[in-house]
Amino acid sequence: PELLPPIQRVNLPAAVERWNQQLDSLKREKIALDAQIFDPRRLGSILVFYRFAMCFLLRQIDEQHMFPQQPFTMPEESASDAQQAAAGALDKWRMLPQFLFEDVVEFVVFLTMYSPDTLIDSTLQVGHGGDGLRTFDDIIPLFVVAFLARPGYISNPYMKAKLVDILHMLTYRDPREDSDYVDTHEGNVSDQSMRLHPSIHQFQTCLDASVLARKFLVPALLRFYVDIEKTGASSQFYDKFNIRYYLARTLRALWARGPLYVEATKQFFLQSVDAASSSKERGAATTTTTGSAKRDQQVVEEFVARLMTDTT
């Protein structure tokens, strides 16, 4: 205050008082907004609606278009299907407004970050249709895996990255159990500062029990690790490292759970090489996890190349 001119020095107490009042007013507004946004009843009602939206979107890409009355069937994706899909199923999908998918993803990301209790609320799990599917245990894991495994339905790479964010948050691994995590330096993580939410273990258990997740999740993550090299944005060079960081964290968390996903990774690598060799001999493409055998082999080769490039 001594550095201010005399006139400003005289008016300073009144200005500070006015600023404090404005700050208190903003705090009251924030508390009122938080009370509305984080209201469990409101979030629960929205989750019930988005359960319907997720089922609707999954039904559109279901091979039989019978979900949830019938189990979900992953749509085929191969080199020979590309032109046919562009003229058929993908055209129907593109008729839907993009916000249908974006709103669902954004809301699930919000819940995983700020209100995971709503996700595992038992009163919100089973729908009224009698299909027996649980929102958090069945529909959300299927939704994430299906759209990551078939990225042709989502043109925006940053929307796919948000699916990875959901996976990363719901497969989060305790940093104290991971020697390669940045926060394991001494003093950064204490025994009292880290307590994982029950939703994480519940989601991981549901992933382990899902046949589609065991078959498609690891190849989908490896494929996205390669595809995120180019996003079309001016900041793509920096964005890819952030997204790949979460992809790597998710893969490490899956591999740490046991041999299930480690074997799935080994099998994908071996099958891609074997399928590529056999397709060359027969002169025809072989349908595999991420498309043609040639595409699978390309994913493996580029993943190893990107991994080595990013770490050097």
Radius of gyration of the chain (CA): 24
**pTM for the full predicted model:** 0.82
Torsion of CA 257, 258, 261, 262, to 10 degrees: 130
pLDDT higher than threshold 60 for residue 251: yes
Q: Which burial class, exposed, middle or buried, applies to 20 when counting CB atoms under 10 A from its CB (0-12, 13-18, 19+)?
A: exposed
Position 293 scores a pLDDT of: 67
* Res 86: pLDDT: 46
Which whole number is the average pLDDT over 302-308? 81
pLDDT tens for each residue of 35-70? 999 999 999 999 999 999 999 999 999 888 888 888
Could you read off the pLDDT of 15-38 as tens digits, one per residue? 889 999 999 999 999 999 999 999
pLDDT higher than 90, residue 107? yes
- Per-residue pLDDT reduced to its tens digit, 122-181: 888 875 555 578 889 899 999 999 999 988 888 888 999 999 999 999 998 877 776 665
Cα–chain-centroid distance for residue 94?
21
Give the tokens for residue 88. 């058929």
Per-residue pLDDT tens digits for 78-96: 544 444 444 466 778 888 9
- Dihedral of CA atoms 230, 232, 233, 234 in degrees, nearest 10, equals 80
Residue 80 sits at φ, ψ, to 5 deg, of -75, -20
